[in-house]
Amino acid sequence: MKEIIKNIKGTKDILPNEVAIWQYVEDKIHLFFQKYGYHQIRTPKFENTSLFNRSIGLDTDIVNKEMYSWTDQGGNNLTLKPEVTASVVRSFIQHNLGKINSINKLYYIDSLFRRERPQKGRFRQFEQFGIEALGSDYPEIDAEIISMAYYLYDSFKIKSLKLKINSIGSKNTRLNYKKELKDYLINYKNDLSSISQNRLNSNPLRILDTKIDFEKEIIKDAPKIINYLDSDDKSHFEELLMLLDTMNIQYEIDHNLVRGLDYYTKTVFEIHSDILGSQAALCGGGRYDYLVEELGGDPTPAIGFAAGMERLILSLDAQKNDIFKKPFIYFITLGNGAIKASAKIINSLRIKQNLTVISNSLRKNLKAQMKEANKLNVSYVIILGDDEIKNNSAIIKDMDSGNQESVNLQNIEDFFKKPH
């Protein structure tokens, strides 16, 4: 038996019959972000491993166990990009973008790689779109970013959106809070999972994010970071919430939302939907005011979010049929004379009139070509055979009504100029 090579677990082919929805979604995303004045940035698919170690953090799931890293033939330690924020910040510093514009509003659509356990909406290669705004520490930019995430999903008519928001404060706030949280959790040390026991010392905030039921019970009475915010953190958060209220965006303050990457500070948020269940977020983001500085740039406050394209498309399942645009014309040719005569007409319908015209190219009989046209669900079929050539005409069949008429070859273009 011949051995067939298959795709890698956690990756997938997007086949021609699925691609329409991807193109539809991508087109809408470009237009949506551009409407807010954001410009696309494209960064390489792989970077130095140290970039992700230093930004996402050594004690995170991504860096610890999910990165596709290798040493190349030149001895360089490289990693396939597991997220985009770090690359955007690297590029921002390297190209002095902060000197060119005092605020940089950027967006991206990119392929990313994380060695996670594949499941619904979770892959090892996935597409992510997102935005990053670098340069402002005012709450109105937080509100802009969150509203863009919210209204993007709303524009796709995704129901039951749940915006979860929290502030994890500035560095000092977190330092004080970490101590309080650790003092509380230490009482339950033996009840915690081994992962959480390890995190107790390294990163106790991540325990708040637990998906384990008995840990959730313990967390219920834990001190809440919101009560430890300093006055600056507090007024930033209050102003942000006020702006969201003004925009009529409903939110839920989730005291346990901390996010899984180390660079966050102050605002963090996620949007969930019933379709994906509570474990998987449609998107997530937050402030990272120290990351530019930590990676060697001038201090630059920043905020952004990113979202999985597969999760958005999964949520669009019910609308798929409306989105798929059916091809307009199927041109049936029967015999050499018809093939020759059709070339000019098809060309001008496509090029001059910008219509989608499918031709058979396999010289099949009328029945087989008609079957194909039905399968493609086209609006019109044009039939050109020897008899029609003799009469200098073609048959045009309206596939919705079933009506057909004979049209002079010279008048076919005009026929499709009428509104249909």
Which residues sit at the interface with ligand HAM, rule CB under 6 A?
Answer: 83-85, 114, 116, 121-123, 126, 128, 130, 132, 261, 281-286, 288, 304-308, 310-311
Three-class DSSP category at 112 = strand
For residues 10 and 327, which CB has a smaller minimum distance to ligand HAM in the complex?
Answer: 10
| Burial letters 130-168, b for 16+ CB under 10 A, else e | bbbbbbbbebebbbbbbbbbbbbbeebebeebbbbbbbb
Output the smallest distance, CB 286 to ligand HAM, in A: 6
| Nearer of residues 67 and 383 to ligand HAM, judged by Cβ | 67
Amino acid occupying residue 47? E
Contact yes or no for 237/267 (Cβ under 8 A): yes
Nearer to ligand HAM, 140 or 398 (CB): 140
Q: Is 113 exposed, middle or buried (0-12, 13-18, 19+ CB in 10 A)?
A: buried
The number of CA neighbours under 13 Å toward the Cβ of 100 is: 9
Q: From the CB of 279, what's the least distance to ligand HAM, in Å?
A: 11
Q: The tokens 């966050």 sit on which residue?
A: 264
| Spacing of C-alpha 337 from chain mean position | 49
50, 57, 84 from 71: Cα distances, Å: 12, 20, 21
Sheet holding 252-253, edge to edge: 39-40, 104-113, 125-134, 302-308, 283-287, 265-273, 161-167, 252-253
Q: Quickly tell me which residue has 């009139």 as its tokens.
A: 353
What is the closest distance, in whole angstroms, from the C-beta atom of residue 270 to ligand HAM in the complex?
7
Task: For ligand HAM, give the closer residue by CB, 29 or 307.
Answer: 307
Considering the complex, state which of residue 205 and residue 355 has its C-beta at the smaller distance from ligand HAM: 205
Q: For residue 264, which phi and psi values (nearest 5 degrees)? A: -75, 155
Minimum distance from residue 303 beta carbon to ligand HAM (Å): 7
Per-position b or e across 9-18, b if 16+ CB within 10 A of its CB? ebeeeeeeee
Separation between Cα atoms, residue 169 and residue 171, nearest integer Å = 7
Q: How far is the CB of 269 from ligand HAM (least distance, A)?
A: 9
CB of 382 closer than 8 Å to CB of 395: yes
* Least Å from the CB of residue 136 to ligand HAM: 14
Distances (CA, A) of 107 to 32, 39, 87, 127, 357: 11, 6, 12, 13, 35
State the minimum distance, in angstroms, from the CB of residue 86 to ligand HAM: 8
Cβ proximity to ligand HAM, 286 vs 301, nearer residue: 286
Of 84 and 93, which has the nearer Cβ to ligand HAM?
A: 84
Report, in Å, the least distance between residue 351 CB and ligand HAM.
Answer: 40
What does the alpha-carbon distance between residue 350 and residue 356 come to, in Å, rounded to a whole number?
6
For residue 397, the minimal CB distance to ligand HAM (Å) is 44
Please say which residue, 307 or 412, places its beta carbon nearer to ligand HAM. 307
Q: Specify the residue, 133 or 394, whose C-beta has the smaller distance to ligand HAM.
A: 133
Instruction: Output the smallest distance, CB 271 to ligand HAM, in A.
Output: 8
